[in-house]
Structure formats: structure tokens, C-alpha cells
């Protein structure tokens, strides 16, 4: 594994590309620390993908199938006929450059091919050669080039360095969304068996076992059992969550990462404590035990195959509606894709909070609401007893996940909740939050360990903003509503802004929430003494 | 190379028209009738063809880029323009986008200072882009006085506004100066800003030089090398009433101006200039964020192979039973 | 989703706007516009000669008038020497130009109206009286 450079080394950045160089003449260099391992043959086989074999991106021979160029070009023609977005985004870019310095990988790395416009040009240049007359006849002068192994490797390198965060599309005067182009590139590379291990592994797990981590039914229950024990230790209350229970009113789906490792588990404990306090009639599922969807980082078809479990399980269990936990790309899928792929969900009812009676018309068709929508409604209606002073040792800022911000617009609900459960909240600079929020640096399945340099580079813009509020307000807690954030921001905070904790919003809720019959709490969910209770204040 | 070549191309095109009509008057028919009709036909039908080609591909998913608060709970203020849910709100968002370049207005500059990344204000591109497109439109509209026997008063009004300060004779148009300035800025930033220079193609410089040439020849014609303007209008009216005539003594510079415009019209449908039509079709901007309220239909949605619950239970039945989980089949 | 209806409507608007000049002039004759120099004063001239050549006057009259105004108003100079024939003329719109071209409607307005040009000469000067014809 490549040695991770120090933060000082990574901060040596130059945003000015060389002056007299044509990017087309510069061959790609697969830099260690910036690439993930290749997909394993067995994982590709599980989901019936073509060219399933073990391969390594650092070796010269990628073991490509015969006539792979033909396969790619045929697929490109097919996708051009299926996606208007792809066709239009190939045609109308004027290269104004507004997007150039908006990508977290460019800001954190300075590689000119990480400018969104150039990332897209990697694909456009091939499109021009085979699908436009000017490219066919004028070639390089018209910005066209042939598809060859060098180009394929360049695609693989840079389209697995895009987290589909869509920040560039906010600034583009035509709304060109690099995520759409990256998705196509990943469709093409998957036809050649060129997925990464870190994506194809979770995909295979999720397909067979229902979640990315590959937790089998009893393992999920064990994990939840452990959390229930912890909750009892902290609150004195024994809660009793149910699994695969038919006839429950609500199915609860959250990313499996929250069941597995800190600090995600604290968020999961938060959900359970909240639902217990409300007496909510809900159930977990071990079959649909994954809210996230690494299929989205693979191909449209794979994403649909994984996503199908949620509605299928809701139907089997006969629930009235679904609540989804805190996760980023999961909510891109739930908001923009799920109903189209696997709907209509006409066997359920429009979500209605049993506590407040609020009807969530905004989910009238999908029948699935975000847990922060649910909780914000509870707090607004005064249904929770909250003691925000229990979070007084935390000076909190909030990181918008790319997908909930730019693929949904869920901006105020989590802020409203945080402001009700914490006394000390400070926003990061406005250019780095809400629709302009930065990626954690490791979305779209880039949260592996072998590409740590890339992740830290991609995480720099977010960390830079956190550092700003840390110095200005003494912020020590980065709240968020995304399981991948909880895992990856922890790493990038340790690297860039040590001492900053990463916490899910519902961890903060559960800390502040006074439960019926609870004992005098001494610690927070992490087992740390509550403010004023540690004796060292 | 990518800068010089398009420049030479535009100069050659201009010289072609200039030398052509100066040397032999017979070619006036070519430059004055054949080329303009071809250009208009290529532009109109090429444009429509390109849009129809786009329209042939469906929009399979509802993928707006949301730039503001979604519509949820009634007490949370919904950002109607940045995150529209109704058609009217989408129209509002599109109008902001098309008329005032809303997204480009967000632009900012990322810089590294004292070991920190800071984001500075950067409105110049927005301003120059807006100035360029609006003056282009204004000038384009002003030219319609050549196509109407009785010129509508709205055009006279625009002209009055444009020459408000009544400088010189013929009266000086402000838009003439603005468009030259804006195009010059757009060319210079492509040459001098390292990032923009790196991403620019020859096809980015060509239309800029071409439009600069069109504006310059038009300005020279109005203020310096004056042409027989009444004859020009008779020529234009001949074209649009489908009975073309070539009046004598119009002046060669007119043909340069005309030929460059025709080049632009012909080039238009084959180039990035199609962003004029494309901006209206961009799915990240022209869709309502209502995909949880109304099901968006994908016309090519096809059944996929899934791993069913039954298959899952078959694999884990014993483990599930041991853990006390309910199963469908004992 | 194709949105065919909206796209076709949009293209129809585009077509109408782009082809507007053609559509509005369908079947209309192209009128020939020529300023008239048939006035009694000009008819009586042995040699029909303006202060400068016809071609110069056609292209540059607005500039010439502008210069004349400046000469008189700012420099107090009322004499203009012709560049083409060396003769001297009194600088005066009403007494020199309009003396011969007494037919403003048929001379000035004809082209100005055709070209939709509105010179501001007559914001200060009084237009010559013409018989209504």
C-alpha cells in the first residue's frame, strides 16, 4: 500500500495547469494511493457480470475481452438513445470553465483532469470521434480522439475519481451534471469487468445477504442486541426492537454501516431510543437491511436490482409506509430513482405520523420519508422532551451530504433538529454548505483504504471549512446525516483537523432526549461523562 | 495552434468575401443570394433537427439538481425557485437561468492563501456573459428594421434606448461597444487564464473570433466605410420577400459582414452554440423535484434479475430460525 | 418521459421567430425607394449640383450636417468650402439645404422612414412648409 503523505505535503497545491500542453497528449498515470483495487472475479460472478476474473489496475494487462472497443461504443450508442441527459451533456458544454475549480478532487489535488469540464471531455472526445461529423473528419482539431487502451485507462482512473456529488452541476449555466457522465463511464467499464473491489464486494454482499457488509440475519440481530445492552447501561431502559415482523405499521431501513462500526452505531442507537420512546410500531428487515446502494456506483441495472428489496419487503411485511435513516446516496436513490425503477408503491399508504398526525404529502407516491423529516415534525409539535444541555460539551457544525442537498433539498430539517437538541451550533462558510456543500471525499464507493491519498485530497475542502469554524468558534463536532460521512469524515478529520468528532444527527437527538422512566444519565451514548457529570469540570 | 488556426480561418473567410465581390461583381449573386438562403435554411432546419435528435432520447429519471430547500413540512420555508415542485415554479427557475444566468451568478474563485483554501467573489464571467448575450440579442433585434417595410415601434424604441446619448452621426450605439468589449474579454480569458486555456478547444475560439469579426465589420460599416444603406434594405427586403435583387454599389464591406453572419448561421447547428436550445432541455434544470409525490415513468424500464426474499430465506432459513426470526416456510 | 408536446411547442416558437421576416413579407412587393429631387428650385438649376457629390452626400450627409452644426454653433463659422468643386456655401440647414430640397417629405423623410431613422434636426429647426399633396 502506498504511504500516505503528510498534510503539509498534500497542501502543496498548484491550480494552474501547464501552459503549452494539450491534455490529450498526456498519458494517464495511475498513481498509487489514488486508485482502488480491481474487482474480484467471484464478486462479479455473483451478480452475473461479464468478464468476471481477478485483475489488477497496476498491471499492464487488464485482461479485457475481445473487441472491447466495440462493446463500449455499442453501449455508448445505446445509452445516448436512452438518456437525454447524456446526449445533451455531450453536446452543449461551451467550456466556460465555471465548474473548473468547484470539484473537491481538483481543489485538493490540482490535477487538471479533475476539473469537471475536463473529466467530461475525456468522454466527449471519444463521443465526438464516433458520433459527430466534425470529430470524424477534423479529429483532434475538433477535440476528438480514438478510443484505445490509454483512453480506457484514463477513463477508469478519472471516473473512479468522481464521487457523483453534483457540485459542478450547481454552477454550470446549463446544469451539466458530471455525475450523469460518470455513471455512463461506470456502465461502460462494468461491461468490461473493470469495477473496483470496494464497490463490487459490497454489491455482491448486498445482492445475496441484503446489506453491503454481508451481515447475515443473526449477525444483524447480534449487533442490534449489543446496542440494546449499551442503551440499557446508559438509560436503564431495555428496549426490544423487532425484525421481519409482519403487520408492523412502519418498515425502517438504514444503511448497514450504522449497525457495524462507530460512530454509526451511536446513530443507530439514537433511532432505536427515539422509536422506543414514541412507542412506534416499526420493524427492521434483515432481507432489506441496506438503505445504501453501491449498485448506483456500478450501473443503472445493478442499482435497480439492489433497490428492489425495499419495496418487495415492504409488500411482504404489509407495512403502511417506510422510514429511511440517515444516509446520503441512499436518499438520492429513494428520492429520484426508486419509484421509477420499482414502483408504484400503491400497496402502501401515504405516510402519516402516528404521533402528530402529520401527513407527509411530499412522499405521497414513494411512501418513504426521511427520518429527519419525521423527527423535525415531532419536535415542532412538542412531542419530545429534550434537554439540550446534555450536549453542551459539543460545539457543533453541520455537513450537508451531497445527495440530500443537491438531489433532494433536505437542508432545514436536520438544522432544525440540531438547533433543538444542541445549544452550540455554528455554520461553516456559506460557500461550503447547503447546495454548495463539499463531498466528504470518499463517496461513490471510494471509501477504500488503498486510495487514502485520494480520499484525503478529496476531503480537504470539507476539512478546510471545518478547520475554519474550529479556529473561529471552537467547533469540535461535525454532525451529518450520512453513514459514509460518519465513516469517511472520521478519517479525514483525524488527518486534517484532529480532535473533531463526527456524529449522526440522531445521536445528538438521543443524547438530549429525556426518556420516560430513564435513570439519571451519567454518560452520553459514547459512554463519555455528560457535561457536569465527569467531576473534572 | 488552437487559438491561431480559428483566427486565420475567420480572416480568410472575411477576405474571401472582400476579394470576391471586389474582383468580380458576378459573385455578388453567390454571396448575396445563394449563401444567405443556404445559411438561413441550414440554421433553422439544422437547429430543429438537432433538438429533435435530443428529444428522441427520453428522460428516464427525475434528476433535478436541487439548489434550495425542498417542499416538506408546511412550516419549513420551501425554496420555490431553486427547488421547484410545480410547472410554474420550474418555469420561474428556467427564466432565471435563461434570462439572467442564475447558475453562473453563483460562480466563485478558489484560491490558496496562507495555507488555507478561500473562495472569493468572481462575477466577471457572469457579467461578461450576460453583457455579451444581451447585447447580441439587442443588436440582432435592431437589425430587424431591415426586414420590415414598416418598422414596428418596439424596434424604434430599442434603437432610441441604444443611442440614448446621441453621440456623433450616425448616432453611436452603446451595444456596439459593449459587445466588442465582452467578446474581447471572453477571448482574453481563454488565452490568459491557465485553467481556461487548458480546457479550450479550437471550436471555442472560432465562434468568438467569428462574432468579433461580425461585430467589427458591422461597426466599420456604420461609422467608417459607409454603404448605400437604402440599397442594403432593398437587398434585405428582396431576400425576405423571396424575390432577391442585387442593387448596385452596396459596398464590399457589406458582403464581408453578411458572409460572416452566414458562416455563423451555418456553423451554429453543428457546434456548441446549440447550447441555446440545449439549455431548455437540461434535465437537471427543467424538472420539478416531485419524484416522491408523483411517480416518474421511464419508458424503457425493464424487469431485472433480483435476489428474492424466498431465495434469501432458503439460504438462511436455519440461521434465521435459530435466531428467532419468523420465516415463511418452516 | 419525452415532453414531446413542450419541445414541439418550443420549436414552433423558434421557427416562427427565426422565420418571422420571411413570414411577414410573404407575397409582398419590394418597394423601390428613391428620394425625389424634383423641386422647382432644383429643376431651375442649369447644373444639378449639391454642395458635394451625390455619392458623398448619400453616405455622409449626417456627418456633414453634424459638422455644420458644430461649425456654426461652436465656432461661429458660417462658410463651408466644398471639397469637390471649391465653391463656398453658407452653412444653413434651412437656407441652404432646404432651399433646394424644399420637399422634405419626398426627400428626407422618404429614406429616413424607410430605414426607420429619426434624425433630430427638427427638434430645433422648423421644418419647411409644404403643400399637402
Query: What confidence tens digit (pLDDT) does each residue in A277-299 have?
Result: 999 999 999 999 999 999 999 99
Please report, rounded to a whole number, the percentage of residues in chain C having pLDDT higher than 70: 97
Cell of A273: 431510543
Mean pLDDT of B216-237: 91
Residue of C nearest to B170 (CA): C62
Q: What does the alpha-carbon distance between residue A329 and residue A226 come to, in Å, rounded to a whole number?
A: 27
Mutation target to probe the B interface, by most B beta carbons within 10 A, among C4, C36, C116 is C116
Cell of A479: 454532525
- Does C18 contact B52 at a Cβ distance shorter than 8 Å? no
B101 neighbors B275 (Cβ within 8 angstroms): no
Total residue length of chain A: 537
pLDDT band at C102 (very low <50, low <70, confident <90, very high): confident
Digit-coded pLDDT (tens) for B70-100? 999 999 999 999 999 999 999 999 999 999 9
Q: What does the alpha-carbon distance between residue B316 and residue B307 come to, in Å, rounded to a whole number?
A: 13
> Which pLDDT value is given to residue B227?
87
Q: What does the alpha-carbon distance between residue B21 and residue B247 come to, in Å, rounded to a whole number?
A: 13
A85 neighbors B267 (Cβ within 8 angstroms): no
Digit-coded pLDDT (tens) for A228-281? 999 999 999 999 999 999 999 999 999 999 998 889 999 999 999 999 999 999
- Does C18 contact B44 at a Cβ distance shorter than 8 Å? yes
- Does C115 contact B233 at a Cβ distance shorter than 8 Å? yes
Choose the closest CB to C1 out of B240, B241, B297. Answer: B297
CA distance A109 to chain B (A): 12
In A, which residues are within 8 Å of B199 by CB distance?
Answer: 23, 95, 97, 100, 112, 115, 117-118, 121
Q: Is B223 on the interface with C (CB under 8 A)?
A: no
A38 neighbors A54 (Cβ within 8 angstroms): yes
> Which pLDDT value is given to residue A1?
60
A43 neighbors A204 (Cβ within 8 angstroms): yes
For chain B, list the contacting chains (3+ Cβ pairs, <8 Å).
Answer: A, C
Quick one: CA torsion of C18, C24, C27, C32, rounded to 10 degrees? -100
User: Exposure of A519 by Cβ count < 10 A (0-12 exposed, 13-18 middle, 19+ buried)?
Assistant: exposed
Mean pLDDT of A157-173: 97
> Which pLDDT value is given to residue C133?
46
Q: What does the alpha-carbon distance between residue A215 and residue A225 come to, in Å, rounded to a whole number?
A: 14
- E strand residue ranges, B87-187: 108-113, 116-121
Cell of A157: 482512473
Please report, rounded to a whole number, the percentage of residues in chain A having pLDDT higher than 90: 95
> Which pLDDT value is given to residue A537?
44
A493 neighbors A500 (Cβ within 8 angstroms): yes
For chain C, list the contacting chains (3+ Cβ pairs, <8 Å).
Answer: B
- A7's enclosing H/E stretch is helix A7-10
> Which pLDDT value is given to residue B169?
76
Q: Is B279 on the interface with C (CB under 8 A)?
A: no
What average pLDDT is seen over chain B? 93
Q: Is A207 on the interface with B (CB under 8 A)?
A: yes
**Phi, psi for residue B120 in degrees, rounded to 5:** -100, 165
- Cβ-proximal residues to B64 (8 Å cutoff; 6+ apart), any chain: B83, B84, B283, B284, B285, B287, B288, B289
Q: What does the alpha-carbon distance between residue A136 and residue A132 come to, in Å, rounded to a whole number?
A: 6
- Does A134 contact B75 at a Cβ distance shorter than 8 Å? no
Q: Which residue has the cell 428522441?
A: B56
The full set of domains in chain B, from first to last, is 4-299 (1.20.950.20), 306-330 (no CATH)
- Does B66 contact A412 at a Cβ distance shorter than 8 Å? no
A114 pLDDT above the threshold of 90: yes
pLDDT band at C131 (very low <50, low <70, confident <90, very high): low
CA distance B310 to chain C (A): 34
How many C-beta atoms lie closer than 10 Å to residue B174's C-beta? 15
Q: What does the alpha-carbon distance between residue A483 and residue A125 come to, in Å, rounded to a whole number?
A: 36
Please report, rounded to a whole number, the percentage of residues in chain B having pLDDT higher than 70: 100
Beta partners for A523? A529
Q: What is the pTM of this model?
A: 0.94
Q: What does the alpha-carbon distance between residue A152 and residue B39 come to, in Å, rounded to a whole number?
A: 39
| Helix B309-322 × helix A300-317 angle, to 10° | 60
Strand-strand pairing, A282-284 and A250-253: parallel
Q: What does the alpha-carbon distance between residue B38 and residue A131 come to, in Å, rounded to a whole number?
A: 25
**Phi, psi for residue B64 in degrees, rounded to 5:** -60, 145
Q: What does the alpha-carbon distance between residue C34 and residue B228 come to, in Å, rounded to a whole number?
A: 12
A211 pLDDT above the threshold of 90: yes
> Which pLDDT value is given to residue A294?
97
If you count DSSP H runs as helices and E runs as strands, how many of each does chain B have, helices first? 14, 2
* Among candidate residues A162, A214, A213, A200, the one with its CA nearest the CA of residue A50: A200
Amino acid at each position: 500500500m502506498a504511504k500516505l503523505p503528510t498534510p503539509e505535503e498534500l497542501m502543496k497545491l498548484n491550480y494552474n495547469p501547464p501552459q503549452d500542453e494539450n491534455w490529450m497528449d498526456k498519458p494517464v498515470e495511475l498513481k498509487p494511493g489514488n486508485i482502488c483495487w480491481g474487482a474480484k472475479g467471484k464478486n462479479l460472478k455473483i451478480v452475473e457480470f461479464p468478464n468476471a476474473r481477478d485483475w489488477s489496475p497496476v498491471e499492464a494487462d487488464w485482461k479485457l475481452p475481445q473487441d472491447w472497443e466495440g462493446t463500449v461504443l455499442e453501449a455508448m450508442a445505446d445509452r445516448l438513445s436512452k438518456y437525454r441527459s447524456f446526449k445533451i451533456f455531450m453536446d452543449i458544454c461551451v467550456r466556460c470553465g465555471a465548474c473548473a475549480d468547484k470539484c473537491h478532487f481538483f481543489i485538493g489535488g490540482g490535477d487538471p483532469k479533475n476539473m469537471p469540464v475536463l473529466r467530461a471531455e475525456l468522454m466527449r472526445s471519444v463521443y465526438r470521434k464516433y458520433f459527430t461529423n466534425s470529430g470524424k473528419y477534423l479529429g483532434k482539431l475538433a477535440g476528438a480522439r480514438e478510443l484505445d487502451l490509454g483512453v480506457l485507462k484514463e477513463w477508469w482512473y478519472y471516473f473512479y475519481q468522481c464521487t457523483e456529488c453534483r457540485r459542478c452541476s450547481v454552477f454550470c449555466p446549463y446544469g451539466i451534471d458530471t455525475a450523469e457522465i460518470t455513471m455512463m463511464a461506470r456502465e461502460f467499464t462494468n461491461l468490461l469487468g473493470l469495477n473496483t473491489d470496494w464497490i463490487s464486494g459490497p454489491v455482491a454482499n448486498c445482492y445475496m445477504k441484503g446489506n453491503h457488509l454481508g451481515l447475515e440475519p443473526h449477525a444483524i440481530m447480534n449487533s442490534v442486541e449489543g446496542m440494546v445492552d449499551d442503551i440499557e447501561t446508559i438509560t436503564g431502559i431495555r428496549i426490544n426492537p423487532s425484525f421481519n415482523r409482519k403487520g408492523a405499521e412502519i418498515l425502517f431501513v438504514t444503511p448497514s454501516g450504522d449497525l457495524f462500526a462507530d460512530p454509526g452505531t451511536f446513530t443507530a442507537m439514537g433511532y432505536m431510543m427515539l422509536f422506543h420512546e414514541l412507542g412506534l410500531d416499526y420493524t427492521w428487515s434483515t432481507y432489506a437491511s441496506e438503505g445504501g446502494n453501491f449498485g448506483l456506483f456500478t450501473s443503472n441495472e445493478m442499482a435497480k436490482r439492489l433497490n428492489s428489496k425495499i419495496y418487495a419487503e415492504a409488500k411482504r411485511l404489509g407495512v403502511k409506509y417506510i422510514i429511511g435513516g440517515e444516509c446520503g446516496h441512499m436518499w438520492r436513490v429513494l428520492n429520484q430513482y426508486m419509484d421509477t425503477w420499482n414502483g408504484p408503491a400503491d400497496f402502501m399508504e401515504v405516510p402519516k405520523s402516528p404521533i402528530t398526525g402529520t401527513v407527509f404529502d411530499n412522499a405521497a407516491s414513494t411512501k418513504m420519508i426521511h427520518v429527519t423529516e419525521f423527527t423535525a415534525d415531532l419536535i415542532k409539535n412538542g412531542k419530545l422532551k429534550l434537554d439540550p444541555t446534555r450536549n453542551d460539551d459539543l460545539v457543533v457544525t453541520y455537513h450537508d451530504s451531497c445527495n440530500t442537498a443537491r438531489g433532494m433539498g433536505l437542508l432545514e430539517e436536520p438544522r432544525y433538529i440540531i438547533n433543538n437538541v444542541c445549544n452550540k451550533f455554528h455554520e461553516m462558510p456559506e460557500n461550503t454548505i447547503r447546495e454548495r456543500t463539499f463531498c466528504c471525499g470518499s463517496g461513490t464507493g471510494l471509501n477504500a483504504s488503498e486510495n487514502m491519498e485520494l480520499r484525503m485530497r478529496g476531503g480537504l475542502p470539507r476539512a478546510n471549512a471545518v478547520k475554519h469554524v474550529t479556529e473561529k468558534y471552537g467547533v469540535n463536532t461535525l454532525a451529518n446525516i450520512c453513514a459514509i460521512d460518519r465513516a469517511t469524515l472520521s478519517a479525514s478529520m483525524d488527518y486534517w483537523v484532529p480532535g473533531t468528532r463526527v456524529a449522526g444527527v440522531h445521536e445528538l437527538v438521543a443524547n438530549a432526549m429525556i426518556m420516560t422512566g430513564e435513570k439519571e444519565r451519567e454518560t452520553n451514548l459514547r459512554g463519555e461523562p455528560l457535561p457536569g457529570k465527569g467531576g473534572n469540570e | 495552434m488552437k487559438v491561431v488556426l480559428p483566427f486565420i480561418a475567420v480572416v480568410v473567410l472575411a477576405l474571401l468575401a472582400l476579394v470576391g465581390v471586389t474582383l468580380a461583381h458576378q459573385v455578388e449573386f453567390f454571396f448575396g443570394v445563394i449563401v444567405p438562403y443556404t445559411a438561413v435554411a441550414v440554421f433553422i432546419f439544422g437547429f430543429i433537427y438537432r433538438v429533435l435528435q435530443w428529444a428522441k432520447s427520453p428522460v428516464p429519471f427525475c434528476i433535478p439538481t436541487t439548489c434550495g430547500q425542498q417542499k416538506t413540512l408546511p412550516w419549513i420555508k420551501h425554496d420555490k425557485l431553486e427547488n421547484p415542485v410545480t410547472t410554474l415554479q420550474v418555469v420561474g427557475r428556467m427564466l432565471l437561468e435563461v434570462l439572467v444566468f442564475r447558475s453562473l451568478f453563483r460562480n466563485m474563485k478558489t484560491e490558496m492563501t496562507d495555507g488555507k483554501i478561500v473562495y472569493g467573489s468572481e462575477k466577471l464571467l457572469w457579467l461578461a456573459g450576460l453583457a455579451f448575450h444581451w447585447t447580441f440579442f439587442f443588436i440582432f433585434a435592431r437589425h430587424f428594421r431591415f426586414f420590415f417595410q414598416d418598422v414596428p415601434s418596439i424596434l424604434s424604441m430599442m434603437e432610441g434606448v441604444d443611442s440614448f446619448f446621441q453621440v456623433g452621426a450616425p448616432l453611436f450605439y452603446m451595444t456596439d461597444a459593449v459587445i466588442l468589449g465582452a467578446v474581447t474579454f471572453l477571448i482574453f480569458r481563454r488565452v490568459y487564464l491557465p485553467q481556461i486555456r487548458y480546457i479550450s478547444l479550437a471550436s471555442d475560439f472560432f465562434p468568438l473570433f467569428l462574432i468579433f469579426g461580425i461585430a467589427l465589420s458591422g461597426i466599420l460599416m456604420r461609422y467608417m466605410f459607409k454603404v448605400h444603406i437604402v440599397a442594403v434594405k432593398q437587398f434585405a427586403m428582396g431576400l425576405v420577400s423571396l424575390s432577391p435583387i442585387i442593387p448596385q454599389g452596396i459596398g464590399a464591406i457589406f458582403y464581408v459582414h453578411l458572409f460572416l453572419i452566414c458562416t455563423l448561421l451555418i456553423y451554429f447547428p453543428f457546434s456548441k452554440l446549440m447550447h441555446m436550445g440545449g439549455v431548455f432541455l437540461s434535465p437537471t434544470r427543467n424538472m420539478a423535484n416531485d419524484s416522491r409525490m408523483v411517480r416518474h415513468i421511464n419508458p424503457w424500464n425493464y424487469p431485472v434479475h433480483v435476489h428474492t426474499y424466498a431465495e434469501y430465506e432458503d439460504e438462511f432459513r436455519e440461521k434465521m430460525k435459530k435466531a428467532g426470526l419468523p420465516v415463511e416456510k418452516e | 418521459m419525452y415532453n414531446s408536446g413542450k419541445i414541439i411547442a418550443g420549436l414552433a416558437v423558434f421557427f416562427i421567430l427565426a422565420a418571422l421576416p420571411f413570414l411577414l413579407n410573404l407575397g409582398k412587393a419590394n418597394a423601390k425607394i428613391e428620394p425625389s429631387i424634383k423641386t422647382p428650385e432644383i429643376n431651375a438649376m442649369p447644373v444639378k449640383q449639391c454642395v458635394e457629390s451625390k455619392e458623398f452626400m448619400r453616405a455622409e450627409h449626417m456627418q456633414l450636417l453634424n459638422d455644420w452644426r458644430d461649425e456654426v454653433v461652436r465656432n461661429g463659422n458660417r462658410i463651408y468650402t466644398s471639397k469637390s468643386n471649391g465653391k463656398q456655401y453658407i452653412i444653413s440647414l434651412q437656407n441652404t439645404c432646404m432651399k433646394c430640397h424644399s420637399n422634405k417629405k419626398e426627400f428626407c423623410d422618404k429614406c429616413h422612414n424607410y430605414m426607420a431613422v429619426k434624425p433630430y434636426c427638427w427638434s430645433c429647426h422648423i421644418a419647411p412648409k409644404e403643400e399637402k399633396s
